[in-house]
């Protein structure tokens, strides 16, 4: 009898361990991840959507309610606005910034490596711990979140103001270190809590993503995002916007415009991307 109970106990422990370390491999057809972003500083909530197609194209956007529907049903978790923006990155490095509310798209023929949505300098073999960073990140362990095994890493640092920041990230190793959840906690000089920002994974659809996430309607205007920002400021503030707009906006609209500086022949090729 004792031996039987011992065997049952071992089987139960093995089962629980298997549940805690469930490895989910991304579907060859792609996947879509939904996350809820909120924070005590901004007091806003956004639905973050990340999608990957079979051809390697990736999309990151906020609040895709009217485009693909709401991924969770909880009246207390409603985001503050509808579709906000989308960034689409293609395997050849081309990327697009899409502003759906004003039907505007900016295509960049040569991708910025920093825009890569997954992986990059994070290595699955090292549990997605970024290297050559001071203070270093540490691998905490594996955790199952919404049915997927994620690698939990953590960093504690002191910022330029002498305040402590505790940053925790959760990565999907099998998806080239896709970050699906994070939690940042801030503390003032006295060590007292001073706000939080976090992304909670809602769910993963491990199948081909909705084609609408990557579609650019034919009536969208192609052009510079900086030019668009100027038009928006002028619409909201009138001709006096150069004198009354916040300085951060003025700095942006007067910065060098990579869109107008790019090779127009390369842009012509990039505009044909689907």
User: Which residues, including other chains, have CB under 8 Å from residue 74's CB and lie 6 or more apart?
Assistant: none
Mean pLDDT, to the nearest integer, of 254-273?
Answer: 90
What local confidence, expressed as pLDDT, does residue 262 receive?
Answer: 92
178 neighbors 170 (Cβ within 8 angstroms): no
Q: Per-residue DSSP letters for 176-212?
A: TSEEEEEEEEEE-TTS-EEEEEEEEEEEEE-SPPPGG
Per-residue pLDDT reduced to its tens digit, 115-158: 444 444 567 778 888 777 788 889 999 999 999 999 999 999 98
What local confidence, expressed as pLDDT, does residue 40 receive?
Answer: 61
What is the residue-averaged pLDDT of the chain?
80
Topology at the third CATH level for domain 30-213: outer membrane lipoprotein receptor (LolB), chain A (2.50.20)
What local confidence, expressed as pLDDT, does residue 69 receive?
Answer: 56
What local confidence, expressed as pLDDT, does residue 159 receive?
Answer: 85
Cβ-based neighbour number of residue 196 at 10 Å: 14
pLDDT at 83 over 70: no
More confident residue, 182 or 14: 182
What local confidence, expressed as pLDDT, does residue 162 receive?
Answer: 83
Mean pLDDT, to the nearest integer, of 29-56?
Answer: 83
Mean pLDDT, to the nearest integer, of 214-242?
Answer: 90
DSSP H helical ranges for the chain = 2-20, 65-68, 225-237, 241-244, 247-253, 258-261, 264-270
Token pair of 188, please? 């003032």
Q: Indicate the pairing of strand 104-108 with strand 221-222.
A: parallel
What local confidence, expressed as pLDDT, does residue 12 receive?
Answer: 36
Least confident range from 4-8, 71-75, 170-174: namely 4-8
Long-range contacts of 109-117 (CB under 8 A, 24+ apart): 109/262, 109/263, 109/266, 109/267, 109/269, 109/270, 110/262, 110/263, 110/266, 115/87, 115/89, 116/89, 117/50, 117/52, 117/58, 117/60, 117/87, 117/89, 117/178
What local confidence, expressed as pLDDT, does residue 7 receive?
Answer: 38
Burial class (CB in 10 A: 0-12, 13-18, 19+), 65: middle
**122-160 burial code (b ≥16 CB/10 A, e <16):** beeeebbbbeeeeeebeeeebeebeebbbbbbebeeeee
Residue 171's pLDDT band (boundaries 50, 70, 90)?
A: very high
Collapsed DSSP state (helix, strand, coil) of residue 269: helix
* Domain positions in the chain: 30-213, 224-255
Mean pLDDT, to the nearest integer, of 21-42?
Answer: 82
User: Which residues, including other chains, have CB under 8 Å from residue 59's CB and lie 6 or more apart?
Assistant: 49, 50, 51, 52, 86, 87, 88, 89, 209, 213, 214
């Amino acid at each position: 009898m004792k031996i039987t109970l011992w065997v049952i106990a071992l089987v139960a422990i093995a089962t629980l361990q298997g549940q805690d370390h469930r490895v989910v491999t991304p579907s060859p057809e792609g996947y879509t991840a939904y996350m809820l972003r909120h924070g005590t500083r901004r007091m806003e909530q956004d639905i973050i959507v990340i999608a990957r197609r079979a051809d390697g194209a990736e999309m990151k956007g906020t609040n895709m309610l009217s485009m693909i529907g709401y991924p969770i049903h909880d009246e207390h978790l409603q985001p503050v606005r509808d579709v906000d923006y989308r960034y689409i990155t293609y395997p050849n490095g081309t990327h697009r910034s899409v502003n759906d509310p004003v039907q505007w798209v900016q295509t960049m023929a040569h991708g910025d490596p920093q825009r890569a949505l997954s992986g990059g300098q994070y290595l699955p073999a090292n549990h997605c711990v970024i290297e050559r960073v001071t203070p270093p990140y540490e691998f905490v362990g594996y955790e199952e979140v919404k049915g997927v095994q994620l690698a939990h890493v953590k960093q504690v640092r002191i910022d330029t103001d002498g305040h402590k920041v505790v940053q925790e990230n959760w990565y999907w190793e099998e998806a080239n270190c896709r970050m699906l959840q994070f939690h940042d906690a801030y503390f003032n000089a006295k060590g007292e809590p001073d706000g939080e920002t976090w992304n909670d994974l809602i769910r993963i659809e491990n199948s081909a993503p909705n084609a609408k996430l990557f579609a650019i309607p034919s009536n969208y205007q192609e052009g510079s995002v900086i030019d668009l920002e100027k038009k928006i400021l002028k619409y909201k503030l009138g001709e006096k916007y150069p004198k009354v707009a916040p300085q951060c906006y003025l700095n942006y609209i007067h910065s060098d415009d990579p869109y107008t500086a790019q090779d127009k022949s390369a842009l012509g090729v990039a505009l044909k991307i689907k």
